[in-house]
Chains A and B, each alone.
Chain A
Amino acid sequence: MTDLQKRGDRSPVPTDWTYAPAPESTDIVRLQERYGLYVGGEWLETKDQFTTIAPRDESPLAEVGQASEADVQNAVAAAREAFKSWSKLPATERAKYLFRIARILAERSREFAVLESLNGGKPIKESRDVDLPLAAAHFFYYAGWADKLEYAYPNRSPKPLGVAGQIIPWNFPLLMLAWKIAPALACGNTVVLKPAETTPLTALLFADVCRQAEVPPGVVNIVTGDGSTGAHLVRSEGIGKVAFTGSTEVGKAIQRELAGRDISLTLELGGKAANIVFEDCALDQAVEGIVNGIYFNQGHVCCAGSRLLVQESIHDQLVRKLKRRMSTLRVGDPLDKNTDVGAINSKAQLDRITELVQAGTDEGAELYQPPCRLPEKGWWFAPTVFTNVAQSHRIAQEEIFGPVLSVLTFRTPDEAVEKANNTMYGLSAGIWTEKGSRILWMADRLRAGVVWGNTFNRFDPASPFGGYKESGFGREGGRHGLEAYLRFE
């Protein structure tokens, strides 16, 4: 018995449970030193290049082509040439190409997920569990539409628009590519896609998916570059469609640029979503929804629930729970499987977040950040919540596009609606209440394209997504997403 007792007296075990690093291996990604443009099924060299880097440590990843006006023209010409045969291809054949792409994305999902996190800074668990499955699913969904368009639009004889010029943002690089390319190709268009300046790599890797899927040359063209490349694309004579996801400011510039040209345009722009929490909600799940609503993808989400409207009666309790929950968020290396909040995408974005957070403090809002050690290299911003925010504060009005939440209060459902709608944006909104009729009452009155009841930041290829007011027009996803890429005779 004595040795048993001794074992009972074993030295005390530490109570602090620090998770060991669980890094996802980057071996699966083989980067080239240098990438050209993917045009007409071939790689074209550009005169100028720029370096794309990893936001987690600012290390260079590859040299990427800066597409000039002539380069863009080449790509549009290649797409126009390819359109002739692609648009005449039996629709079932088009469908099969898209199914192939969906399958290949699923097969190579780990490679894409790692590259996405490397180049964009988002946590691997998100690129692995959200971006990649959704991107593959998007192709799979629209593949099925390719030969069923006449059932979506009976008596309207749907026809493709031609070459779609598509410009996508850096927050969901591959997923936004899928949202753009899948419906465009399904409807018989060809595309010239410009990925965001800071996140070109998964789009360039997608070119390899097109190779594997044997997509005909010129059907998908990828041109990389900064804003000027996008401007060349929008101004190009050869396009029949522009689809843009990004800032409202650039969206307006594109709308102006296309004035008088009668080119089909869809815009998916900024947002300042209200996430409205009623006192009778399932509180702990609402807290999860709030956290997911604003800290998912570092808050680099146009539909992020960046304005928390809390019924005053539960404000203190909710904020206490929220802060406690924030303290368990793991901020750090995007490639670590346990990371909840990754790196800020770019220095410029970090500066903007920092500036707005400073404005929030200056205007008298109360800042809270959980204690967390941020890595020294790379761009980081701790999860932040502002309480005591007034509707007139900049942090309650402007899109921050970072992990920053502003908390406001309301007293009645009418006041919640009024505050929620009191913005130039109208992309999304969230409602948390256990009362079914109130969910529907609120959903009816919120001027937003996507309303999440007792959930937030859910996406699906079958679910149309897009905004009211200055959040843009047109829908992506679902049957409604086809319309952006069709004309009717």
Chain B
Amino acid sequence: MAQAPVLPRGFELPLKQRLPRVGAIDQVAVEERAADLAKRSIKKEAKVWALELAIRCCDLTTLEGQDTPGKVAALCSKAIRPDPLDANVPSVAAICVYPNLIPAAKERLAGSGVKVASVATAFPSGQSPLGVKLRDVEDAVAMGADEIDMVIDRGAFLSGRYAKVFDEIVKVKEACGDAHLKVILEVSELGTYDNVRRASLLAMAADADFIKTSTGKLPGAATLPAQLVMLEAIRDVYEETGRKVGMKSAGGIRAAKNAIQYLVQVHETLGPDWLTPDLYRIGASSLVNDILMQLRKEKTGAYQSKDYFTND
């Protein structure tokens, strides 16, 4: 993408004020900053706090062709009470499933406070007509989804049809009604950090509640530098408009240590206001157990075995 993007008509309207400068991202510098922040040493009570926060911010995810109501029910139990032996371990933020599994999740989670998120808009590629995508969203909302994780049309984005990407997000947002909208950029398909920043601003301009790194369906999913670029875009929008947009990193975050690195970055880039499930999520399927092991290690002092934690 050699030239600066042509901003679509009406692009700035949802923000009501002028958009932050699109600008550029220096790859080497942003990766060094991310690596530097990843070296923060988080110990003792600060670590326990972070681990519990990571659970509270977790979107426990299953997005498989073989997902069944039974599988989702089991996952919901895990979501509500991640550690059967320790009631002090908080619930996760949400369960993230395909639309067909919404009813099963909804039933199991009723009254628990754990939200149901559904992917939609021809997830994960987004390569379907808009009508299909909107119908996808409407059905998910009708089935009870509290949150919609949509994908942007990367094909349109990469070919410079920003208006199309923008309009789709706006329409999906309308279709969401009261459901919260997370916009997946699929950063590993965007090719450059400049594009990650552009897509982030585009999504926020189109009124996304959250911007999200990845579908989790590709090998290169969330990375610390990609999150940093997105957090900085969120910060710019906040500073220009006062609007707080949420962040979700998903895909590839499996270790507790890794989760803490993502949280440190949020803490030092956006500040403590964003350290809440209302504004920060981690999408993960296997992270929770590693966190539980770390929490128990902090409590008992002994390193843990996977055999003592339930696989759901």
Contact = CB atoms under 8 A, between A and B. Distances in A.
- Do A's and B's CB atoms come within 8 Å in the complex? yes
B29 A328 contact: no
A454 interface: yes
How extensive is the interface on chain B, given as a class?
35 or more
B12 interface: no
Contacts of A14: 49
Nearest to A454: B26
B33 A19 contact: no
A328 B46 CA distance: 17
Contact of A8 (B29, B112, B263): B112
B61 to A, nearest CB: 20
A295 to B, nearest CB: 13
Contact of A288 (B29, B42, B49, B239): B29
B39 interface: yes
Nearest to A288: B33
Contacts of A284: 25, 30, 232
A106 B267 CA distance: 33
B191 to A, nearest CB: 16
Interface residues of A, number: 34
Interface stretch (B138-146, B162-170, B268-276, B302-310): B268-276
B52 A13 contact: yes
Contacts of A289: 29
A454 B44 contact: no
A285 B267 contact: no
A262 to B, nearest CB: 45
Contacts of A125: 39
Interface of A is mostly: loop
B311 interface: no
A16 B273 CA distance: 9
Contacts of A18: 46
Contacts of B32: 288
A462 interface: no
B272 A19 contact: no
Interface in A426-471: 434, 454-455
B284 interface: no
B113 interface: yes
B232 A21 contact: no
* Highest count of chain A CB atoms <10 Å: which of B43, B56, B91, B276: B43
A47 interface: no
A19 B90 contact: no
A21 B44 CA distance: 9
B30 A285 contact: yes
B50 A285 contact: no
A297 to B, nearest CB: 15
9 contacts: A1-B111, A4-B113, A5-B112, A7-B80, A15-B273, A16-B272, A282-B26, A285-B29, A434-B24
Interface of B: 21, 23-26, 28-30, 32-33, 39-47, 49-50, 52-53, 56, 80-81, 87-88, 90-91, 110-113, 232, 239, 263, 267-268, 272-273, 275-276
Given A8-B91, A10-B88, A338-B40, 12 more contacts: A10-B90, A13-B49, A13-B52, A13-B53, A14-B49, A17-B272, A20-B43, A20-B46, A280-B23, A283-B21, A284-B232, A455-B29
